[in-house]
Structures are given as structure tokens and as C-alpha cells.
Structure 1
Amino acid sequence: MTTGVLACVTLLVPGVAASAAVAASPQDGGTVHIGARQGYPGTGIFPVSTGEPAGSGEPDAWAYCIEHDVSALTNVRGTVGGHGSYLGANRFTDPAVRSKVLWVLTHSYPALGLEEFGAAAGVPGIARADAIEATQYAIWRYTELDFDADWAWETADSEAAYRHLIAGANADTGPTPEDTATELSLSAPSAPQQAGTLVGPFVVSANRPSVAVSVDPAVALTDADGAALDPDALTDGQALYLDLRDTKSSGSATVTATAAGSSLTGRIVSVPTTAGATPTAEDHAQTIILVAPKTATTNAEAVVEWQGDEDDGTTGGGTTPSTGPSTSASPTPGDGDDGTTGGGTTPSTGPSTSASPTPGGGDGGTTGGGTATATASDTPAPAVPDGPMAETGSSGTGVITGIAAALLVAGGGVLFAVRRRRAARG
């Protein structure tokens, strides 16, 4: 059974939540399938489905007749519309009559459950066919007549329920379609969202006293301060957040708001006399009016994605793998066997260059124990000796010093290192 009025979701941009506005299903101008009438032969109710009927399953809505003197046609598709699209010429053209009909629809079966309707009408245990008959006669009382007729009651229960409906409708000016429609929307944050935070806000807007919100996959809901919220008791204008404070990885979730009722009740269906034809004022079958069952709900959805900490390489002390020439920070001498902290080295997939550490800045010149990544350069920086040069046993120290200085000026750090290794062997 499709009892929900499901909203469509807008295009999702990574890291950004997409909110959806409520759209009625079926929408005005759309078509629905009208099934075989149920109940007593002369006063039945029509099952109405947005798609083709699904066997014995429950329909999306039900419908009563609002044109007594026009023949009904079933197993055909009709067109949904507002009251302004009505093609008939009886008393339903009067806005006051429409309000009376809406009052009857919203206070009878199946807008109320059968047991609930029977209790309200003073007829506990009323049969379904009697509840349907009472409702249909009450509708015709206003669309066809300006007085109470002596209808052909099947049972005393049917008549008692009818009297209850007429008394209530006469005592009330009656609702408008806007009064009976459930309005629901769910706004979502448009900025990129981050794991390890409260993701939001999502804001509920509804004309119903209570809205339920679910998240798939399941995530706890909080307010802006991180206090837990009851997901089954949210209210109009309430802001909510997904509690992702313990989440480190990227992900996404679908947030669904659900409110009781729908926007279907009171919409009319214009029916053609020939399948596939367009009904007109001069040529149409019996017009029917929709009523959503008590179980109907209206839904609004939003989809959100969030970035995980691993996406920017800042979590867990790791480094972002390199796909080109890698660079490494110069180690601080004395911290390990190879002059690095933690005894580890960073694998390199290409030529390596060295950056000198910043004194006092930590293991790699950064705070928080992270490893700073140097920017690769076409010309390598000259190496800085760790101590005095080894003597070669020659008295030509001045010449060697002069050569070293010249090499440094010329950027010959590699030759300088070679010279130093030869001296060590001397």
C-alpha cells in the first residue's frame, strides 16, 4: 500500500545536503486508476491508485461520487484536479457546498478508522458497507439537494451514522482544501558537512502538531547543543542535527520527515466516458472526490553527505600517499637510528629532496607531531654538514676550504659530499 506522499529529492552535490519540497501524489493534472466500486451496489466507494492496481493491495486513496445523476465508469484512468476543475453542474459548484462535503469526508470513513467512526456516530461495531452508505448519502445531501431526503437505508446503523454526519456538517461552516491538506517540508544545510561534528541544521516545517524523523542509516538526532531529541515528537520550526561526533569516515544519509495526513482529501477526479479520452463539461462520466485513509502520511526527504577526516590526510598521524616525486623533511639528529622520530621513514616513489627543519617547531617543523611536506624544487638545497670536516692528513686545508666554498656558491652540494667522503677515507 502506498499511503505516503513522497517528496522528490534534488540533485546532490558531494559534501552538501539536498533538501526536498513536498509534492502531492498524484499531482493536479496527473491521472489515477479508478477501480471497481465496493460496498452496497448503489452507494459504494471507489479504490484509486496512482499506478495500475496492485491486486488485492490497498489503494493510494478512496473516492466517493459527487454527481448522483451521472453514470459511473470504473477500470479507467481519470484526471486529478482542484475544485476549480470540476466539470459538473450540480450544487458542488457552490463553495459553501464544497465545504460541507469536505466536513463529511474528514469526519467519516475511511478518513476515520471504522471503529473510530462508529464510536463517534454512536453506532459501535458499524459495518463497513453501512459506514460507506452513510457517507455517500451525506455527500449527496449537499451536492444534489437542499433538504434531507428519505434515502433507501440498508440498515438502521447506516441511517444513524448519516444523521450524525449531517448534524455535524450543518453546525460547522466546514473546512477548505487548504485546511485539510497536510503541509510538510524539510530544509537542509547547503554548506559542506564534516565528520566528527553535528551535521545540520535540518529544519522541519509542518502544519501538524507532531512530525517523526528517521535517518538511514540510523544516526541519533540532537539539537544545536548536542542534546538528544525524540525522533517521533518533532515540531514545526524545530532544527535538528545528525550526531556524527564519533564518526571519522566519509558517508551519507537520507533524512525523512513524516507527518500524518495527506493533500489528497478533497481533490476531485474527472473521468472520461471513453478510456484515454479527455473529459469535458459536455462529455464526462461521474466525477468522484478523493479521501485519504486514516493511515495516510506525507513525507519529505533530504540527503546529506559529509567528508571524513581521512579525506584531507589529517587524521591518525598518517600521510597522504604521493603519486609523483615525493619530498621529505630533514630529520632531527639523535631522535632515532636514522635521525627520525618514531623510527620510521616515509617511502619515496621518486627523486627525493630535503627541507631543513625549523628550529623548535617539532619533529617536522609542524605542531601536533605532524610531518610537514616540503615543496619540490628543481634545484636541491645544499646539504648542511653535521660537524667539522675530517682531516685528510694533508696540509692543504686552506685549498680544500676554498674549493668547498666555491662549490657551495656554485650549488655543488653533491660534489662537496663526495669530497668529504674521500677525506674520510684518507
Structure 2
Amino acid sequence: MIRIQERRTAARLSAITAASALATVAALAAAAPAMADDGVQATYKGMASGQTNKVKLTGHGEKDIPAGLMNLQVKGSGAPTLSVYCIDLENPVGQGDNYAEGKWDDTWLGKRADDGGKVKWILLNSYPTKTVDQLKAATGASGLNESEAGAATQAAIWHFSDHADLDPGDKKNDPDVKKVYDWLVQNAKVEPGEGTKFSLSLEKDDLSGKPSDNPGVGPFTVKTTAGGKDITAKIKDAPAGTKLVGKDGKEITAKVGNGDELYVKPPADSKKGEATFEVSGSSSVDVGRVFKGVRNGQSVASQLLILAGSTPVKATADGTAKWATSGALPAFTADEKCDEGGVEITATNKGDEDFTFTLDGKQTVVAKNGGTVKQLVKVAEDQKYDIKIVGPDNKVLKEFTGVVDCKPASTTGGGGTPPTTAPAASPAPSGPELAQTGGNGSNSTLYMTGGAVLLLGGGLVFFVVRRRTAQ
């Protein structure tokens, strides 16, 4: 997965959890899954309380590997604890490591759809989504406890994430763990509809134009799986007189829906300016959110973790519009391209003058009046990068930093298994949990209320996805 760190503080995601009955989850289950790259910021707190089992895996020598439910503590006063499993055995994780949400499609989960879908099935059909008693009845593991259920679930996930098998001949592997592991591996399947679709996003969240553009600077297209008109849109920070309008030029006063186009109308006589607005909506989120290690604001090659619980949330995403009467109006975005082995930079120019920039040693001209240029910057697996876009005056216009981590195993030799001595355990959540999503920096908003929701059957993951930009 490639993690692109954003320098622009205007964008944020917020989420509010609430207690919900199973009927509510069923009603909201139509929201399709995706990943939020600007989502939860959390700290690894070790194995959950009571998760003490270790397993032996084939191909891993004499190592006793701690296996079970782990905890991520969401940052912020009063923030909750997340229940997670490892989906990246060969990379390390340690007490106090920082984590942030990543996108499903930008990890091996999105590239190996069969394995990723089976991991999702395990999360939906094993501990803690299913109780220990339910697993006993399904598998015949009559002596199963919570620690063994967690170990079996983790081992089954590793079977698909890292192709690591529970050693059938090792007597240290608990018989009940083996029973549950075998049942999960044998029955895991890719459920119809278990794809990764957006639930709420802006197709483009950073656009520029001229103040005379009609109906305004845009379009910012709403992308959501929510039915009907259930998305709120409103101006946040903008010069006095700025309006958020539809494609008919009329100010938006009601809720919007999927495919609706939003435009920012600058105030009369404005020659240059900038405005931000937000869209928000509610749906249900369940297992499958991916967490990627970060250090000093940049992604690092570390163990990928995946969420093991579900809850309803409210999500918010921001858009930014800029305008000027004359000159070049360049804009840059960066997209993750694991299949192509790098980061694709897209440059656009809506101004009335051509714009020249230098990227990766190559000078490029972006034509005026809507010209677009794409350039792939090659980045090797596990390699850190710092991509600078330089203007004609040799000043850095935009900068994208991160690390390529597309594969579950480290290629640098610096990987490792979970700690052989389990870190100090923190209290286990009472049931499946999910924190709200939050932005990067001081404009993040965190709220959490209510309890966890058990999900019956196949659920879909709901996330806010925003295109990565940097300033």
C-alpha cells in the first residue's frame, strides 16, 4: 500500500458512532465498503485482555507466535479502543506504534480479491463477531474459550493473508484452536457483493477556476451508495458572499444525493480567493477497515491490521475551491498505483496561461484552459519517497511523501512476526467496536457514543474516500 501524506489541512473526515439495533444495521447494510485514507489515528496497545494463546506455523521454525485479538487505542480524549487482527505476518508491530487508516484497494486485499474476500468472510463468521458459544456449536470445539477463539481466527486469517498454515503436527497447537481453524479455512468464501465501493466521497475535492465560471468553480460530484437525497452540503470557510450552488446556479438549500454536482460561486467582484465546504451523511460500517503504520506523519513498512467489529457512523468530507481572474491555475493530485509500481501525479490547469513544472527530473508543460498531464513516478516496494513538484521559479509547489507497501511481506529483510512476548494487555472491548473517522491535524473531530453492534450475515464496509492532494 502506498500512503500519501497530505500537507493541506482543509480536508477532514469525522464520524459519530451511536448504539443501534440489529434492524438498523440491516437497513444500512446496503452501504458498500471502501477505505478511508484520512480516517482513524490510533496507537497499538498489544494483545487484548485474556488473549494469551500462541501458535506454531509451518515454515516459521520453532517460534511460538502470539495469535489473537489485538487493541488499537484511538487518539483523542475519551476515544474508544478498536479490536483488530493482523493481515501482514512478516512485518513487525510493537507497543506504542502509531497507525492510521488505509484503503482496502491499495493493499494486497484489493489485489488478491479471492484471499481478501475470504479474510472478510472469516471476520464476519468468527470471533468476536460470532460468540464463543456460536463457534462451539458450528465447529464442535466443546472446550473453546475466548483466547482460543481469537488464536484460531488469527491463524485462519494468516492462512489467506500470508499463506501460512497452522502446523498440524505440533502438539503445542491447542486441539480446539485447530478445530476452529480448520472449519474457518474450509468454509471461507467470497460472498457476492463483498466488493469495495465508495459510500460517500467527492469525485474531486480540490478544484480551481475563474470567478466568472458559470455556475461556479466545479463540478464537485457527490459519490454515495446512500439512496435518495440524504447528504447534507454546506459552506464552511469562505469569503463573505460565497455560495454553494447546483448546476442550475441556484443556491443549495436542501439535501443532495449520488451524482449531484456542486459548485462554489465566488462573491461578486472577487478577483482571487479560496473556499471550503463539507458534505456529510450516515450509514453502517463493519469489519474490514485497514490500518497502516505511520511515523512522524509518514507511512512506514509495518504490520497491516484489520478491524474486527461493526457500528453505525456519521461521516463528513471536505471540498476546496480556488479562483483567480488571470494567469495559470495549476492543481496537482496523487493516486496510488500499486499495479504500476509507483505514484501517479495528475496536473491540471484551468488558467488562461500555459504552466510549466518539473517532476522527477522531467519538465512538463500543462496547456491552458483545462490541460491535463499524468506522470508516473516509479517507487520500489518498501521504499520511502518524497515527491516534489517544482514550479518555473524553482520553488516547490506541492510535495507528496510516504512509503510503498503493496505486499504483505517485507522485501527489505526488516520484517518480523508479532512480538514473541506479548505486550502488556489492555482491556478487551465488550464487543465489536469501531471508532469514528477523523482528519489529520487540529481540525479533526472525534465523537463516539453508544455500544457495539453485532452483525448477522454478510455486511458491507462503509468508508469515506477522498482523493489525496498536497499543498
TM-score range, shorter chain: 0.3 to 0.5
When normalised by structure 2's length, the TM-score is 0.36
When normalised by structure 1's length, the TM-score is 0.40
Bigger fraction of residues in helix:
1
Bigger fraction of residues in strand:
2
Higher relative contact order (CA 8 A, sep 6+): 2
